Amino acid sequence: MVKSSFLSRFRGDSPVREDERTYVRVVETQERTFLVVLEVNDVVESDAGLYRVKAKNKFGEVAASINLNFSREYHPFFFFLRG
């Protein structure tokens, strides 16, 4: 199993700490292959930013990132009924 000490997670330049809304899951998908999920629940606008996760071991390192954005545009959805 992958030890969490081999995982780095950041939002911008700040480390992401696990709490009641934010946590990391590591799932072995096949032998020596893992899926790492950084999950943020109950997302609010202040959570916006660039998130990065990096896994590192003696063979090298791999990183992934996602930019979480919000749009203030509102697109109402209307139904028109004719009877």
What one-letter code names the amino acid at 64?
A
Per-residue pLDDT of the chain (83 residues; tens, 9 = 90+): 455 458 899 999 999 999 999 999 888 899 878 888 999 999 899 999 999 999 888 888 999 999 999 877 766 666 666 65
Distance CA 2, CA 31 (A): 12
Please report, for the chain, the start and end positions of each structural domain, with discontinuous segments joined by +. Answer: 4-68
What one-letter code names the amino acid at 39?
E
CATH fold of 4-68, please?
Immunoglobulin-like (2.60.40)
Lookup: tokens for 66: 């996602």
pTM, to two decimals? 0.73
* 3-state SS, residue 44: coil
CB atoms within 10 A of CB 51: 19
